[in-house]
Amino acid sequence: MARRPNSRSKQQGALHQPAPVRDNIASKATQWIYGNHAVIAALANPARRCLRLLCLPENADEIEMLLGQAQAAAAPESIEIVERRMLDAMLPPGAVHQGVAVEADRLAVLDLDDVLASIPAIGAPHILVVLDQVTDPHNVGAILRSAAAFAAHAVIVPEHGAPDVTGTLAKAASGAIEAVPFIRVTNLVRTIERLKEEGFWCVGLDSEAEQDLAEIDLPEKIVLLLGAEGAGLRRLVRENCDYLARLATRGTMHSLNVSNAAAVALYTLTRT
């Protein structure tokens, strides 16, 4: 390797009659999560406390079946059957809820030190994903989903310049927010320096880079850095990368949407 170049109760599944209208606003300590995959993942996460599970009448049988398959640990004792207008009123305008939503405690804020301490000695490559000013919750959610699919240990974002973990982000992540630590850090450059001290090598994606990602001989501990669409990585972040790499393309389009680029890059880093 070269030196660095610069338990549900007995009432499980009980169905109620249409629920009366109640307070529709989640507290600051809770949030609404919606969509089949996101809801089932939240219900199966023992780190969550789920307070209310709502679904449309036509979705009740499907949700009951999914709950049984998922062996949901955090599910409320019963499902509240509500009309569409009530469910729509609970959620952000235009939310694609697929007829189901759960009010759950927000996930605990995780620390980078905890993630680093949990990385095992085996199972390489060990990958961390760092997002520099990627602000679209749909993109961040999709990146979390890819991170879960390719066993990345965490997705790291700056405190400012990244979306909150909303229902929109959780829906886009399709349950991955329950599986992949989502870490916020105060200073991205200092975090990169810290990760280098921990033995990670940092590779930033850049469609104009000379090297193809697949051609770089990387060690077992890798930080994959992706910047905002258009602007890309900020100067100081770029300068602190050990490598800048591009994804090989064959068509006339030489760049990808940031979430698609993340998926291709993670596949490339883990395919051997």
Q: Are residues 98 and 192 in the same domain?
A: no
Q: DSSP state, 252?
A: S
Answer whether residue 56 is part of any domain: yes
CATH number at residue 96: 3.30.1330.30
Is 34 inside a domain boundary?
Answer: yes
Range of the domain at 21: 14-105
Q: Are residues 100 and 120 in the same domain?
A: no
pLDDT score for 17: 41
262, 130: one domain: yes
What is the number of domains present in the chain?
A: 2
The verdict on 127 and 98 lying in the same domain is no
The pLDDT value recorded for residue 242 is 96
Are 97 and 141 contained in the same domain? no
pTM: predicted TM-score of the whole model, two decimal places:
0.84
What does the pLDDT read at residue 66? 73
Q: Please identify, among 82, 105, 128, the residue that sits at the C-terminal boundary of a domain.
A: 105
In a domain, 1, yes or no: no
The reported pLDDT for the residue numbered 69 is 67
Q: What is the pLDDT of residue 23?
A: 43
Task: Report which of 59, 12, 55 is spatially closest to residue 32, judged by C-alpha positions.
Answer: 55
Q: Is residue 167 part of a domain?
A: yes
**Predicted pLDDT at 213:** 95
Q: Distance between CA 47 and CA 39 in Å, rounded?
A: 14
- The per-residue pLDDT for 249 is 80
What is the C-alpha separation between 192 and 100, in angstroms, rounded? 39
- Does 88 lie in the same domain as 194? no
Segments of the chain scoring below 50 in pLDDT: 2, 7-26
